[in-house]
Structure 1
Amino acid sequence: MRRSVAAITATAPVVALGTFDGVHEGHRALIARAVAVATATGRPWLPVAFFPPPKTLFGGHPFLSSESEKHTLLVEAGLASGAAPSEVVIVPFDADFASTPAAAFVDALAARAPTALVVGEDFRFGRGRAGGVHDLEAAGRLDVLPLVAIGDEVVKSSAIRDALDAGDVERAGELLGAPYRVSGTVVAGDRRGRTIGVPTANLAVDPRKALPVGVFAVQVDLPDGSRRGGMANLGPRPSFAGPAASLEAHVFDWEGDLYGADITVHVVARLRGQTRFADLPALRAQLAADAVAARARLALAPA
């Protein structure tokens, strides 16, 4: 992973430029166009992205994709369009970078002699968001894509955050082009799940990451390369004291030790909101019902 435009090593690349938070359907269209241009010109393509998003730095808004998730999603989107990127650039977006004059950013891009710059029509950059897409013409051939809409809604990261806030993970998945994902390292929990017959993998999640709240049907990518169905509690645990937000996933039909492993949870559908139970028997009964509902819902989901 490269950390700056200056670190790009590809010769005359096609550059897809954007924040790419979530790598949603609009971003995927932009990447598909970059791959098409790269294929037609015989040049490599690469994305230039930023993390965290400006809205996280300046407004405290949660982000959709961590830096590592964004890297994975960008590579996957390229492969889905026919070509992996030659390299991935994710620039650390901090106060120093945000103060970069727009002209300096254009000069940095021009120094890499891009074959083309592929960008969405609403892209802004530079100190005070002073730079617009047509300022990029000084860096090379410009290919500006219109915003993508699904139904009557423009696909934007803010719309996906709103859907997640409402617990509508299926709508979020439509806008993303895939179920919302949460990746992280499994950490030790209080092991209460094992005592009630529902062991869970507890994920360490950046508190800045957007998380819907409730109980969900999920698919889990395990270290052995398999993908298993499961169910997960996201957000606070109303029946127990503990962290304000967490992700606890129970993997169906699987036994093993995941502590210290990196896994990815794909949030497929919401089963219910969170409820505080008076005793463990009531909690066990509800979890059994949740498992039945999750298996039924996952049977409808693409593999």
Structure 2
Amino acid sequence: MEIIDLNGYVERRFGTAVALGNFDGVHVGHEFLLKDNIKKAKEINLKSSVLLFKNHTKTTLNNKDKLKLEIITPYYKKIHLLKKLGIDLIYSIYFDESIMKLSPEEFVEKFLVKKLNSKLITVGFDYRFGYKAKGDSEYLKKLGKDMGFIVNIIEPIYIEGEPVSSTKIRNLLKSGLISKANHYLGKNYSIIGKVVKGDKRGTGMGFPTANLKLDDNYVIPKIGVYETMTIIDNEKYRSLTNIGYNPTFDGNELKIENHILDFEGNLYDKYIEVSFIDYIRDDVKFDTVEELINQIKMDIEYVMKKQ
């Protein structure tokens, strides 16, 4: 797979089949769309590609006063997932105010036709583009007839009668419905963070934790205790992850604390990945530290029995 920075670049080597979208999560619906784009590209001898913005389109300057968008998948993880799917090319660029203010016609002509030499464009049924999202998939089809490219519109993918979407997955994660969110994603939801020093309460109780500091504005799952898998240097370890405020100790700062089973070693300043498997229980305030320790032991026993 080739990754190309679109700044100052024009594709003159071959015609392309371009998939468009934010692809946050690269969920099962996105995978279907991307695989269909690859299939159709091969049928008409085009290079399969994705126009991938390095930032989500909703984080542009006109949204600066709104709450910062919580993402499912950061840019570098999208790259990894797209590579696994077999995409030939990724055309990469920041979505900034100059792109945001392009009319639908200008966006298509400047980027899709002139820069990417697009002969086939694949989008979801609800795709919107151009200034103030004035263009939709049907209008893109009309522009295709005028400018000489085919538009491939993908209908929604349903799981148990519900359409799969990034918004739906965000809501499931925030509700603690991890297994259902994972089903929609087609993989376990995961976050990557740097291990930083905590207050060492876990170590004092006999359950040392790796405290995560996140570089990206991930969707944070509902406060509670989770069965997780921690990936350290490509090795997987069973783990328990607590998202909460340490209510037993009257804490007031949200923390992500990760107790890794069957692991010993110094992880400070190291980046690790935490993959969420299932929600275990609420993060509750215990009357004594002994009660908390007993509960953690039961949580560990629960996870060990499931493996």
TM-score (norm 1): 0.86
Instruction: Using the TM superposition, name which of 95-104 and 124-133 deviates more.
Output: 95-104
Alignment of 1:82-101 (within 5 A): 83=86, 85-101=87-103
Shift of 1:218: 0.6
Q: Considering only aligned residues, what root-mean-square deviation do their CA atoms show, in Å? A: 2.4
Alignment CA distance shift 1:123-1:214 (3 Å) = same
**Which residues in structure 2 correspond to 1:118-157 (within 5 Å)?**
118-133=122-137, 134-135=139-140, 137=144, 138=147, 140-157=149-166
% of aligned pairs identical? 27
1:172 to 173, 181, 200: 181
Q: Which amino acid aligns with 2:105?
A: A
Which string of whole-angstrom CA distances, capped at 9 and with x for unpartnered residues, describes residues 242-292 of structure 1? 664332212211111222222211111000011122332222111111111
Residue 68 (structure 2) pairs with residue 66 (structure 1): no
Aligned length: 291
User: Between Structure 1 and Structure 2, which shows a larger proportion of strand residues?
Assistant: 2
**SS at 1:255's partner residue?**
coil
Aligned to 1:185, what secondary structure does the other structure show? strand
- Partners of 2:162 and 2:238 lie apart in 1 by 30
Deviation of 1:179 (Å) = 1.4
- Provide TM-score, normalisation by structure 2: 0.85
* 1:76-87 alignment, distance < 5 Å: 76=84, 78=85, 83=86, 85-87=87-89
In the TM superposition, what is the alpha-carbon distance from 1:177 to its structure 2 partner? 0.9
Alignment of 1:193-204 (within 5 A): 193-204=202-213
Q: Report how far residue 121 of structure 1 moved.
A: 1.1
Q: Kindly tell me: are residues 286 and 33 of structure 1, through their superposed partners in 2, closer, same or farther at Cα, counting changes over 3 Å?
A: same
1:245 to 2:250 alignment: no
Change (3 A) 1:119 1:289: same
Q: Residues 102 and 4 of structure 1: is their aligned pair in 2 closer, same or farther, counting only changes over 3 Å?
A: farther
| Matches for 1:1-303 after TM superposition, within 5 Å | 1-2=3-4, 4=6, 7=9, 11-55=14-58, 58=63, 59-60=66-67, 61-76=69-84, 78=85, 83=86, 85-107=87-109, 108-111=111-114, 112-133=116-137, 134-135=139-140, 137=144, 138=147, 140-206=149-215, 208-212=217-221, 213-223=223-233, 225-240=234-249, 244-297=253-306, 299=307
- Unpaired runs of 5+ residues, structure 1, are none
**C-alpha contact 1:44 1:86 (8 A) present in aligned 2:** yes
Highest Rg: 1 or 2? 2
Residues 217 and 270 of structure 1 are in contact (CA less than 8 Å); yes or no, is this contact kept in structure 2? Answer: yes
Residue identity opposite 1:106 in structure 2: V
Letter in 2 for 1:32: K
Matching residue's letter, 2:297: A
